Amino acid sequence: MEKTMNPTAALIIIGEEILNGRTKDKNIGYIAEYLTNLGINLREVRVIGDEEAAIVEAVNALRAECNYVFTCGGIGPTHDDITADSIAKAFGVPISENAQAIEMLLERYAPEDLNAGRRRMARIPHGAALIPNSISKAPGFILENVHVMAGVPNIMQVMMDALAPQLAKGQPLHVVTIDTRVGEGTYAEALREIAAQHPTVSIGSYPRFTAQGFATQIIIRGKNLQTCTAAADAVHAMLTNI
Amino acid sequence: MEKTMNPTAALIIIGEEILNGRTKDKNIGYIAEYLTNLGINLREVRVIGDEEAAIVEAVNALRAECNYVFTCGGIGPTHDDITADSIAKAFGVPISENAQAIEMLLERYAPEDLNAGRRRMARIPHGAALIPNSISKAPGFILENVHVMAGVPNIMQVMMDALAPQLAKGQPLHVVTIDTRVGEGTYAEALREIAAQHPTVSIGSYPRFTAQGFATQIIIRGKNLQTCTAAADAVHAMLTNI
């Protein structure tokens, strides 16, 4: 496909409850679609447990590879929430209670209710900027290119809305979707030829199982509308004549 | 938590359509729960695109770290299905048409319909054992500790059922789930003390947002029923008295 200068991103989902299947992730698909709409290319997602070594390794590997890293999970008040401390460790910076974060928590809690557990949610690595949380107030934070968000989907979503204006955007790709019930195996070789003849677009073929049997979407993506349309015309002609 | 000798696993989801948000993954949660029920500890999930270098890197990193690796996606007939070739490259083994895989495809397709595209689904790395596919016949395969499956959920599921009898099982953990509407921040410090007093179990606290506001599950896991029950009793007493 045409080389794009679009920013790249990686996503890290932090939570033992996803790995043991108890909680079904709802954040990957949301964030993937959100970033795509901003013209940001999500290149990799990792799901890891609430373990310092795993968090440090994933954050340090991916922040070196991508323009942006996003994390979800592990920033609550309980003992199993270790993301903020692990991010500080990954960057080799101190972490301590952040006065601005305490102010945010005081929008929700009376001073006498700001106990040790809740104050933990104000522990922020030094040098980080806060991400506001309009729902439960406990903030996320941004340290260099790493964006640390909550795991609860609706809180993650308001944090994403809050940080999005600061992200460099790319050019969203043109997308042409062709639905067909012609079997993938029937058109595979013809589609391979079309893909070879249209090197500036990306062509994918995605089968799924429906109540009426297999159905497939052929999806064409590219930066240029004309080249996408030309490839789509070729696919339509191929499907009609096969 | 008590060190378990349970087998470990990693999962690799291969598909640009998941990364761009067009398709919402349905396999991570299914496989996470499936492995947990077999006493196999899923340690990491990665979602990557249909790119040879990314597949080779993820497979080689994770097969060295875990007892089992499972992959989903990229074994269909079209040009964007490059998983089998990439796995062969990761292992440094040749890949070619497999006679047994052709026989499996002939259960579904008449010989004259077994065109070049469909024959691609019989390309299997040398040394691999096949995973039968009772739905669309095109097999997955097992090469050493790497299990290569389809991405379409119902096909992945029958492949998982087919390969599961060959997996070494662990001891499934006892799980006690306590639902509460007491706020996490209210009990966080008391729960930390209980976790410290019950080091042989794992205690997690998982908030979620419901129509009635926040609700939380405290989940206790361990190999020994008595130690789980003792920790659960302590949590119940704490929630009652807080």
Q: What is the ipTM of this complex?
A: 0.95
Section A207-235 average pLDDT: 92
Phi and psi torsions of A100, nearest 5°? -70, -35
Nearest to A77 among B29, B188, B221 (CB): B188
**Nearest residue on chain A to B30, alpha-carbon basis:** A21
Is A229 in the B-facing interface, judged by CB distances under 8 Å? no
pLDDT tens series, chain B, 242 aa: 444 589 999 999 999 999 999 999 999 999 999 999 999 999 999 999 999 999 999 999 999 999 999 999 999 999 999 999 999 999 999 999 999 999 999 999 999 999 999 999 999 999 999 999 999 999 999 999 999 999 999 999 999 999 999 999 999 899 999 999 999 999 999 999 999 999 999 999 999 888 888 899 999 999 999 999 999 999 999 999 98
Mutation for testing the A interface, residue in B8, B80, B187, B217 having most A CBs under 10 Å: B80
Section A108-115 average pLDDT: 95
Q: What is the pLDDT of residue B211?
A: 81
Residue B152: its H or E element = none
Nearest to A19 among B42, B54, B206 (CB): B42
Q: What is the pLDDT of residue A237?
A: 97
Residues of B167-181 as b/e, b for ≥16 C-beta within 10 angstroms? Answer: beebeebbebebebe
What is the edge-to-edge ordering of all strands in the sheet holding A213-222? Answer: A174-180, A213-222, A202-210
Nearest to A188 among B47, B120, B186 (CB): B120
Residues of B within 8 A of A202 (CB-CB) are: 16
Q: DSSP characters for A33-52?
A: HHHHHTT-EEEEEEEE-S-H
**Looking up tokens 């119902």, which residue turns up?**
B154
Phi and psi torsions of B228, nearest 5°? -65, -45
Q: What is the pLDDT of residue B3?
A: 47
Q: What is the pLDDT of residue B210?
A: 83
Shortest Cα–Cα distance, B221 to chain A (Å): 11
Q: Worst-scoring range by mean pLDDT, A94-108, A201-215, B30-44, B90-104?
A: A201-215
Tens digits of per-residue pLDDT, A15-64?
999 999 999 999 999 999 999 999 999 999 999 999 999 999 999 999 99
One-letter amino acid identity for A103?
A: E
Q: What is the pLDDT of residue B209?
A: 84
Is A57 in the B-facing interface, judged by CB distances under 8 Å? no
pLDDT > 70? residue A3 = no
- Put simply, the answer to whether A188 touches B116 (Cβ < 8 Å) is yes
Q: Which of B26, B73, B221 is nearest to A50 (CA)?
A: B221
The answer to whether residues A202 and A221 touch, using CB atoms and an 8 Å cutoff, is yes
Q: What is the pLDDT of residue A32?
A: 98
> How do the residues of chain A divide into helix, strand and coil, expressed in percent and rounded to 5?
40, 25, 35
Section A208-221 average pLDDT: 89
Tens digits of per-residue pLDDT, A125-146?
999 999 999 999 999 999 999 9
Residues of A within 8 A of B80 (CB-CB) are: 195, 203-205
Residue A152: its H or E element = none
Please, which residues have CB within 8 angstroms of residue B102's CB and are 6 or more apart in sequence?
Answer: B114, B119, B122
pLDDT > 80? residue A1 = no
Is B78 in the A-facing interface, judged by CB distances under 8 Å? yes
Residues of A within 8 A of B180 (CB-CB) are: none
